[in-house]
Amino acid sequence: MRRLYTLLLYLLAPLVLLRLAWRGLRAPGYWRRWPERFGSIRPAIGARVVWLHAVSVGEVQAAAPLVRALLQKPEVSLLVTTATPTGSARVAELFGEEVEQLYAPYDLPGAVARFLDRIQPQLAIVMETELWPNLFNGCRKRDIPLLLVNGRLSARSTAGYRRVPRLVAKTLAAVTAIAAQSPRDARRFASLGADPGRITVTGNLKYEQELSPGLTDQAREQRRLWGETRPVWIAGSTHEGEDELVLDAFRQVRRRLPDCLLVLVPRHPERFADVAALCRRRGYRTVLRSEGIPCTGDTGIFVGDTMGELMLFYAAADVAFVGGSLVHRGGHNLLEPAAAGIPLVTGPHVANFQDICELLERVGACRRVENVSGLAAAVSHWLLHADERRQAGRRGSQAVERNRGALDSVLAMVERYL
């Protein structure tokens, strides 16, 4: 089955390169460092290499506490790979030259062999849901312990993997141990063929994120630039087709709160200019973060067109909507606004964060809505009821604090294989 999979990958390789070139028209980062994606990299980066793969920004954020802990071990060399330019940029922002970083190889046998032969990792750590048959098999053949950390599987992903049961079961057989986010994730991995004896429920590393030193002061200054007395809500990590829905909701919110400011932060940097243009076409005076100017009373929308500042914007706002949830994207990290102490709203599509969403709903820190009118109503309610809003934000931050502990469990697992 893996041979058929590999043949299909080779046949699709020209289309993959065309897709990279096409995406590079809007995000030039996709035009760079192509050899890395085929395993053409410099030789090993040092002795006792620990390799951690985090596909993009969300996985990098989740892995950050683990990376910081591993950096405290001077006896190992740490390599972080990603698959996207935004993920690579986030690694650079968080860790600079403290870690080596590359793009992960495509799951082609030759690319995988070149990568593993030159890096020679002592331990491989893959974040969340990445299952790559040839890469995992390459680790097994070389006796490289492979850990699947912060493992999660949505119902949709599980159903997709069940279409190729033999391939997935053999891929999971190459995994040394799985650190699952929840019992539900553990059951799904086992249902796909993973050895239950190799699965441990460790909790979610996303709960381990720490607010950066000085964030409160930075948020206070950012709020001054927005307007200290006006209500502010933020729509973070929005996708194509979702910005229009957010703007529809904003129009409704402004009927009750005419001086409200919307902070709109698209998920992908190649869409920054398009989103700003959309806001202006809707008739709103729009300020971009990159312009470095304060909002005036007639500014309607502030577009966050920079990378790595979403937590700052959450901390400076009153209410958050977390994107990828009004469209079929599975949602994004609900814990960021919760950790920042503000209540949040999400759409119905939260498969990637189902357990977290249910927890935050139970404590009253999150409201799940079905449509534009529901979004407008939830945002308006919290903006109009300051005491209730502050209590909801406090309950969310307390929930984040209570659910820490995954890092210690994951580190214990890592230590066993170091």
Residues serving a catalytic function are 59
> Each residue of 148-183: b (16+ CB within 10 Å) or e?
bbbbbbbeebbeebeebeebbebbbebbbbbbbbbe
Which is nearest to 350 in space by CA: 370, 324, 374, 375?
324
CA angle 411, 413, 414 (to 5 degrees): 65
CA distances in angstroms from 19 to 13, 156, 294, listed in the order given: 10, 24, 38
d(CA 417, CA 177): 10
Q: What is the dihedral of CA 85, 86, 92, 95, to 10 degrees?
A: -130
- Helix, strand, coil % over all residues of the chain, rounded to 5: 50, 15, 30
Which is nearest to 121 in space by CA: 48, 42, 66?
48
Which is nearest to 204 in space by CA: 413, 367, 355?
355
Determine the length of the chain.
418
Question: End-to-end CA distance of the chain, in Å?
Answer: 32
